[in-house]
Amino acid sequence: MNDSSIRQLQKITLLAVFLVAFGLFFWMFRPYLFSLFWACVLSGLFYPFNKRILAKTKKRKLSAFVTLLIALLLVILPLVVVSGMVVNEAVALYNTLNNQATIIEIKNLI
C-alpha cells in the first residue's frame, strides 16, 4: 500500500467513526429534540424583551427574572386557561352523553 491509499483509508475510517458517533449522539438526545426546539424558539422570541429590560435595569439577573415572568404570563397563563376550558367542555359532554334521555335519542337515531 502506498501513502495515498493509507491516507484515503484513514479519512474513510475517521468519517465512519464520526458518523457512528454522531448517530449515537442523535439517538441519545432524540427524546429531548422537541423540547430543545421549543426552548430555542421561545428564547429567540423573548430575547428582545430581555435586551430592553437589561438596557433599563443594567442588572442581568433582574432582567432574566423579569423576562421569565413575562414569558410565564404570556405562555403558561393562556395555556392554563385554555386547558381549563377544555376540561369544562369534556365534563359537559360527558354529562350530556350520560343523561338517559340522550342515550334514548341516540338509540333511536341508530
Domain residue spans of the chain: 32-109
Higher-pLDDT residue of 19, 76: 19
Q: How confident is the model at residue 2 (pLDDT cuts 50, 70, 90)?
A: confident
Identify whether the C-beta of residue 64 lies closer than 8 Å to the C-beta of residue 47. Answer: no
pLDDT of residue 94: 84
Q: How confident is the model at residue 110 (pLDDT cuts 50, 70, 90)?
A: low
**Alpha-carbon distance 68 to 62, whole Å?**
10
Residue 32 is given by DSSP the state G
**Alpha-carbon distance 35 to 46, whole Å?**
16
**Alpha-carbon distance 62 to 1, whole Å?**
65
pLDDT of residue 64: 94
Task: State the sign of the Cα–Cα–Cα–Cα dihedral 69, 75, 77, 80.
Answer: negative
pTM, 2 dp: 0.56
The predicted model gives 20-27 an average pLDDT of 94
pLDDT of residue 100: 67
